[in-house]
A = this chain, B = another copy of it.
Amino acid sequence: MPDHATHVPADTKDALAKRLRRIEGQVRGLQKMVDEERYCADILIQIASVQEALRSVGKLLLQNHLTHCVTGAMRSGEPAETKRVVDEIVELWGK
C-alpha cells in the first residue's frame, strides 16, 4: 500500500472531520429519539438522513481516493497495482 499520509489535502481532511462530527451528533439524536419513544416513522426519516450524510462523506472520500491513490497506482504502470485498486472500488460499488 502506498504511503498514504501525503494524499489527503488539509481542506478535504477538515471537511471530512466536520461532516463526521455532525453525523456523530445525528446518531446521538437518534438515541434520544428512541429513548423518548418518538414516533417510529420520524426516527426512520432521521435514519435515512444519516445514511444520506454518510453517502456524501463516502463520495468525498472516493473523489480523494480516485484523484490521488488510484491515479498514483494507475500511473505506476504495474498491472498488479491497477488490479488491486480496481478490485477495491468494484467491491465497494452498490454497498
Closest to A30 in B: B20
- In the assembled complex, the CB of A23 is this many whole angstroms from the nearest CB of chain B, namely 5
- Some 30 contacts from A to B, beta carbons below 8 A apart, are A1-B39, A7-B37, A13-B34, A23-B27, A24-B27, A24-B28, A30-B57, A39-B69, A40-B68, A41-B69, A41-B89, A44-B61, A44-B62, A44-B65, A45-B92, A50-B54, A51-B51, A51-B95, A55-B93, A58-B93, A58-B94, A59-B90, A66-B70, A66-B89, A67-B82, A71-B82, A74-B74, A75-B75, A75-B77, A93-B93
- Chain B residues contacting A69 (CB-CB under 8 Å) are 39-41
* A86 close to chain B: CB less than 8 A: yes
* Interfacial residues, chain A to chain B (CB-CB below 8 A): 1, 4-5, 7-8, 13, 16-17, 20-21, 23-24, 27-28, 30-31, 34-35, 37-41, 43-45, 47-48, 50-52, 54-55, 57-59, 61-71, 74-75, 77, 82-83, 85-90, 92-95
